[in-house]
Amino acid sequence: MVNAIWIFMLVVGFIAAAAQGRIEAVTEAVFDGAKTGVTVSFGLISVMVFWLGMMRIAEDAGLLKSLAKLLGPVVRYLFPDVPRNHPALGFIMSNMSANLLGLGNAATPMGIRAMQELQKLNPDKSTATPAMCTLLAINTSSITLIPTTLIAIRMNFDSANPAEIVGTTLLATMVATIAAIAADRWYRSRTKSPPHTQHHESNSVPAGQ
Protein backbone atom coordinates (compact mmCIF):
# COMPACT_ATOMS: atom_id res chain seq x y z
CA MET A 1 0.00 0.00 0.00
CA VAL A 2 2.79 2.43 0.95
CA ASN A 3 4.75 1.59 -2.23
CA ALA A 4 1.64 2.20 -4.33
CA ILE A 5 1.20 5.64 -2.73
CA TRP A 6 4.84 6.54 -3.41
CA ILE A 7 4.56 5.43 -7.03
CA PHE A 8 1.34 7.42 -7.43
CA MET A 9 2.99 10.55 -6.01
CA LEU A 10 5.98 10.16 -8.32
CA VAL A 11 3.76 9.75 -11.38
CA VAL A 12 1.69 12.79 -10.41
CA GLY A 13 4.88 14.79 -9.88
CA PHE A 14 6.26 13.88 -13.30
CA ILE A 15 2.94 14.66 -14.98
CA ALA A 16 2.69 18.04 -13.23
CA ALA A 17 6.31 18.89 -14.13
CA ALA A 18 5.76 17.88 -17.75
CA ALA A 19 2.59 19.97 -17.95
CA GLN A 20 4.52 23.02 -16.70
CA GLY A 21 7.58 22.31 -18.84
CA ARG A 22 9.83 21.77 -15.81
CA ILE A 23 11.04 18.19 -16.24
CA GLU A 24 14.61 19.36 -15.66
CA ALA A 25 13.63 20.45 -12.12
CA VAL A 26 12.37 16.95 -11.37
CA THR A 27 15.56 15.39 -12.75
CA GLU A 28 17.70 17.76 -10.69
CA ALA A 29 15.72 16.97 -7.53
CA VAL A 30 16.09 13.22 -8.14
CA PHE A 31 19.87 13.44 -8.48
CA ASP A 32 20.18 15.80 -5.51
CA GLY A 33 18.13 13.40 -3.40
CA ALA A 34 20.27 10.45 -4.45
CA LYS A 35 23.43 12.40 -3.65
CA THR A 36 22.13 13.37 -0.21
CA GLY A 37 21.07 9.80 0.49
CA VAL A 38 24.54 8.45 -0.33
CA THR A 39 26.24 11.15 1.77
CA VAL A 40 24.03 10.51 4.79
CA SER A 41 24.43 6.74 4.41
CA PHE A 42 28.23 6.98 4.47
CA GLY A 43 28.07 9.15 7.56
CA LEU A 44 25.75 6.69 9.27
CA ILE A 45 27.93 3.73 8.31
CA SER A 46 30.95 5.23 10.05
CA VAL A 47 29.01 5.93 13.24
CA MET A 48 27.24 2.56 13.19
CA VAL A 49 30.53 0.71 12.67
CA PHE A 50 32.04 2.58 15.61
CA TRP A 51 29.16 1.81 17.97
CA LEU A 52 28.79 -1.79 16.80
CA GLY A 53 32.50 -2.20 17.52
CA MET A 54 31.95 -0.71 20.96
CA MET A 55 29.07 -3.12 21.49
CA ARG A 56 31.32 -6.03 20.54
CA ILE A 57 33.98 -4.87 22.98
CA ALA A 58 31.33 -4.46 25.68
CA GLU A 59 30.07 -7.96 24.91
CA ASP A 60 33.55 -9.50 25.12
CA ALA A 61 34.20 -7.60 28.36
CA GLY A 62 30.99 -8.90 29.89
CA LEU A 63 29.35 -5.49 30.14
CA LEU A 64 26.33 -6.57 28.11
CA LYS A 65 25.81 -9.53 30.42
CA SER A 66 25.87 -7.16 33.38
CA LEU A 67 23.38 -4.89 31.64
CA ALA A 68 21.22 -7.89 30.83
CA LYS A 69 21.23 -8.87 34.52
CA LEU A 70 20.08 -5.37 35.43
CA LEU A 71 17.30 -5.61 32.84
CA GLY A 72 16.37 -9.12 33.93
CA PRO A 73 13.79 -8.17 36.60
CA VAL A 74 12.24 -5.59 34.26
CA VAL A 75 11.99 -8.10 31.41
CA ARG A 76 10.44 -10.75 33.66
CA TYR A 77 7.85 -8.20 34.82
CA LEU A 78 7.04 -7.13 31.27
CA PHE A 79 6.93 -10.70 29.94
CA PRO A 80 5.42 -12.81 32.75
CA ASP A 81 4.08 -15.43 30.32
CA VAL A 82 7.52 -16.30 28.90
CA PRO A 83 9.37 -19.14 30.72
CA ARG A 84 12.22 -17.90 32.88
CA ASN A 85 15.08 -19.56 30.95
CA HIS A 86 13.58 -19.32 27.48
CA PRO A 87 15.95 -18.07 24.69
CA ALA A 88 13.47 -15.32 23.81
CA LEU A 89 14.35 -13.46 27.00
CA GLY A 90 18.01 -13.25 26.01
CA PHE A 91 17.16 -11.79 22.61
CA ILE A 92 14.71 -9.37 24.23
CA MET A 93 17.39 -8.10 26.63
CA SER A 94 19.88 -7.71 23.76
CA ASN A 95 17.27 -5.78 21.80
CA MET A 96 16.59 -3.47 24.73
CA SER A 97 20.33 -2.94 25.36
CA ALA A 98 20.91 -1.90 21.74
CA ASN A 99 17.91 0.43 21.82
CA LEU A 100 19.21 2.08 24.99
CA LEU A 101 22.32 3.06 23.02
CA GLY A 102 20.27 4.31 20.09
CA LEU A 103 21.44 1.50 17.79
CA GLY A 104 18.13 0.82 16.09
CA ASN A 105 19.71 -1.08 13.21
CA ALA A 106 21.61 -3.30 15.61
CA ALA A 107 18.50 -3.85 17.74
CA THR A 108 16.34 -4.97 14.82
CA PRO A 109 17.97 -8.42 14.27
CA MET A 110 17.67 -9.17 17.98
CA GLY A 111 14.02 -8.12 17.92
CA ILE A 112 13.34 -10.40 14.97
CA ARG A 113 15.02 -13.34 16.70
CA ALA A 114 13.01 -12.64 19.84
CA MET A 115 9.78 -12.62 17.81
CA GLN A 116 10.76 -15.94 16.21
CA GLU A 117 11.34 -17.49 19.64
CA LEU A 118 8.07 -16.07 20.98
CA GLN A 119 6.26 -17.52 17.97
CA LYS A 120 7.44 -20.99 19.06
CA LEU A 121 5.46 -20.46 22.29
CA ASN A 122 2.40 -19.25 20.39
CA PRO A 123 -0.47 -21.77 20.43
CA ASP A 124 -2.26 -19.86 17.66
CA LYS A 125 0.28 -19.08 14.92
CA SER A 126 -2.11 -16.69 13.16
CA THR A 127 -2.54 -14.37 16.17
CA ALA A 128 0.10 -12.43 18.09
CA THR A 129 0.49 -13.32 21.74
CA PRO A 130 0.48 -10.68 24.52
CA ALA A 131 4.26 -11.11 24.84
CA MET A 132 4.73 -10.37 21.13
CA CYS A 133 2.58 -7.25 21.42
CA THR A 134 4.58 -6.15 24.46
CA LEU A 135 7.87 -6.61 22.61
CA LEU A 136 6.61 -4.57 19.65
CA ALA A 137 5.47 -1.75 21.95
CA ILE A 138 8.73 -1.70 23.91
CA ASN A 139 10.89 -1.88 20.80
CA THR A 140 8.99 0.98 19.16
CA SER A 141 9.06 3.32 22.17
CA SER A 142 12.33 2.19 23.77
CA ILE A 143 14.12 4.55 26.15
CA THR A 144 17.21 5.90 24.38
CA LEU A 145 20.14 7.07 26.45
CA ILE A 146 22.30 8.01 23.45
CA PRO A 147 20.48 8.75 20.14
CA THR A 148 23.44 7.58 18.08
CA THR A 149 21.72 7.56 14.69
CA LEU A 150 20.18 11.01 15.12
CA ILE A 151 23.48 12.46 16.27
CA ALA A 152 25.16 11.02 13.17
CA ILE A 153 22.53 12.57 10.88
CA ARG A 154 22.93 15.97 12.57
CA MET A 155 26.72 15.72 12.20
CA ASN A 156 26.32 15.02 8.47
CA PHE A 157 24.27 18.18 8.09
CA ASP A 158 26.89 20.26 9.95
CA SER A 159 24.89 20.84 13.12
CA ALA A 160 26.61 23.25 15.51
CA ASN A 161 25.82 20.98 18.46
CA PRO A 162 24.70 17.53 17.23
CA ALA A 163 24.51 16.08 20.74
CA GLU A 164 22.18 18.72 22.17
CA ILE A 165 19.17 16.44 21.53
CA VAL A 166 20.30 13.87 24.11
CA GLY A 167 18.23 15.34 26.95
CA THR A 168 15.06 15.90 24.96
CA THR A 169 15.36 12.48 23.29
CA LEU A 170 15.73 10.80 26.67
CA LEU A 171 12.68 12.63 28.03
CA ALA A 172 10.58 11.89 24.95
CA THR A 173 11.47 8.20 24.87
CA MET A 174 10.83 7.88 28.62
CA VAL A 175 7.33 9.32 28.18
CA ALA A 176 6.72 7.08 25.16
CA THR A 177 7.90 3.98 27.01
CA ILE A 178 5.77 4.72 30.08
CA ALA A 179 2.74 5.23 27.83
CA ALA A 180 3.47 1.99 25.94
CA ILE A 181 3.83 -0.04 29.15
CA ALA A 182 0.66 1.49 30.61
CA ALA A 183 -1.31 0.69 27.46
CA ASP A 184 0.14 -2.83 27.38
CA ARG A 185 -0.80 -3.49 31.03
CA TRP A 186 -4.30 -2.12 30.42
CA TYR A 187 -4.93 -4.33 27.41
CA ARG A 188 -3.49 -7.34 29.22
CA SER A 189 -5.86 -6.78 32.14
CA ARG A 190 -8.84 -6.50 29.78
CA THR A 191 -8.02 -9.65 27.81
CA LYS A 192 -7.09 -11.78 30.80
CA SER A 193 -9.91 -14.15 31.77
CA PRO A 194 -10.18 -15.95 35.12
CA PRO A 195 -8.44 -19.35 35.09
CA HIS A 196 -11.66 -21.22 35.92
CA THR A 197 -13.77 -19.61 33.18
CA GLN A 198 -12.75 -21.86 30.30
CA HIS A 199 -12.98 -24.99 32.45
CA HIS A 200 -16.40 -23.99 33.75
CA GLU A 201 -17.75 -23.26 30.30
CA SER A 202 -16.45 -26.52 28.85
CA ASN A 203 -18.13 -28.55 31.61
CA SER A 204 -21.39 -26.63 31.71
CA VAL A 205 -24.57 -28.42 30.64
CA PRO A 206 -27.10 -26.51 28.50
CA ALA A 207 -30.34 -25.71 30.22
CA GLY A 208 -33.13 -28.22 29.64
CA GLN A 209 -30.86 -31.28 29.29
pLDDT tens-digit readout, 134-168: 999 888 888 888 787 777 778 777 788 888 888 89
d(CA 34, CA 79): 43
Determine the straight-line distance between the first and last CA of the chain, rounded to whole angstroms.
53
pLDDT tens column, 60-106: 777 766 766 777 788 888 898 888 878 888 888 888 877 887 776 66
Q: With 80 as the cut, is the pLDDT of residue 34 above it?
A: no
Model confidence, pTM = 0.62
pLDDT tens column, 163-183: 888 889 889 999 999 999 999
Looking at residue 48, what is its pLDDT? 67
DSSP state of 79: -
